[in-house]
Amino acid sequence: MFKRIDHVEIVTQKPEPTIAFYTELLGFSVRRRERIARPGAPAIDLAYLELGGTTVELITYEDAGKVGPFREGENLGYRMIALEVEDMDRALDFLKGKNVPVVWGPFKREGQYARAEIADPNGFHIELRQWY
């Protein structure tokens, strides 16, 4: 049901130097970049950097110029780990049956991925990701 660690998220105010660091110095390649508009909230820019099957997802918010926390759970630095799942609906049903809280989602981007978040006993979020 659970396949592997899919990616680690980093929230950054410096996307271009960070991408250069990971690609030019550490040998990652840019798998994909996208901008997600969010009505009523700042847009998010994402960069997926890959090395040997492991992905670092860089997240930059339009208002990331603020120092320190700029919204709950969205501080600069490492954000969460993500586990790839074979079937999102099956995984969520299993976890709900074990009283694991689903704190966000699932969100499905047609033809690309499904995404949800659960919480561990400490309240730390773990993303679940199914790629299509």
Q: What is the pLDDT of residue 112?
A: 93
Q: Does residue 4 surpass a pLDDT of 50?
A: yes
Nearest to 106 by CA among 123, 80, 85, 124: 85
Give the mean pLDDT of 28-33.
Answer: 95
Specify the number of domains making up the chain: 1
Q: What domain range includes position 29?
A: 2-63+72-131
Nearest to 15 by CA among 52, 44, 51, 41: 44
Residue 37 sits in a domain whose CATH number is 3.10.180.10
The per-residue pLDDT for range 92-105, each reduced to its tens digit, is 999 999 999 899 99
Instruction: State the CB neighbour count (10 A cutoff) for residue 24.
Output: 9
Q: Does residue 68 surpass a pLDDT of 60?
A: no
The per-residue pLDDT for range 36-57, each reduced to its tens digit, is 988 887 889 999 999 888 899 9
**Sole residue written with tokens 């997802």:** 57
Distances (CA, A) of 101 to 52, 53, 66, 113: 31, 28, 31, 21
